[in-house]
Amino acid sequence: MEKSLVITIKNLVKSFPVGGDFFIALKDIDLILKTGEFTGLIGPSGSGKTTLLNIIGGLDSPSEGQVNVLDHSLDNISHNQRAILRREFMGFIFQSYNLLPVYTVFENVELPLILNKIDPKKRQKRVKEAVEWVGLSDKINSRPAMLSGGECQRTAIARAIVHKPALILADEPTANLDAENSHHIMKIMVRLNKELSTSFVFATHDEKIMGYLRRIIHLEDGKIVEDKKIDNPKFGK
């Protein structure tokens, strides 16, 4: 596989058993994403965007088809190998932040580095760099209960980028934020994308995010109905 390819999906089908039948969540998905793309999966609730994001992240498995992410064939590796791939090469951002309430900002951001068994001195340096990236150096010893929603999401972004992953997957990252915080969050991610060449894939129906995207993949009823590149996004140029 070419080094420039981050995601290659062919003939993807995902079905779930419902009663005595099957619900087809995704069908006939073909998709290629290259290094450094800033892409959104958009569509109404139930269109399959979160299911597709979960399959790309190795959190779910396809029923049929081939999924290759970061030069790993996800349909041919074990759950443990998928976990290692996620831990070392991917970052995840969720709408609910998923921060540990008893941990400080520093400790939450440090977690991926502990899991990857990074040396303590290197961990400290990387955490401080990531927290500085998202503008939270003055909150580094605060716990989530002391932070605003925007600050919690910025902490989650710092945690997602601290190990400098090749790919970040973000599921409705601005859903719980007001317009000002949403734009702040997106500008941080645009900067990360440009300066670190990190590839981003969003699942969203938030109009505010769409103005930053350089590629929009529209899903309806589990199918890709439109795939367009945006040469001049409204924001984030």
Q: Which two tokens stand for residue 2?
A: 């070419």
Task: Read off the pLDDT of residues 165-192 as tens digits, 9 standing for 90 and up.
Answer: 999 999 988 888 888 888 988 998 999 8
Name residue, tokens 């934020």. 177
Strands (E), the chain: 5-18, 21-34, 38-42, 64-69, 72-73, 90-94, 167-171, 199-204, 215-220, 223-229
d(CA 175, CA 118): 32
**How much is the average pLDDT of 118-126?**
95
pLDDT band at 236 (very low <50, low <70, confident <90, very high): low
Which alpha helices (H) appear in 90-148, and where do they start and end? 105-115, 120-133
**How much is the average pLDDT of 100-123?**
95
Indicate if the pLDDT at residue 122 is higher than 70: yes
Name residue, tokens 């769409």. 210
Q: Identify the structural domains of the chain with CATH numbers, from first to last.
A: 36-62+78-229 (3.40.50.300)
pLDDT at 212: 95
pLDDT at 207: 86
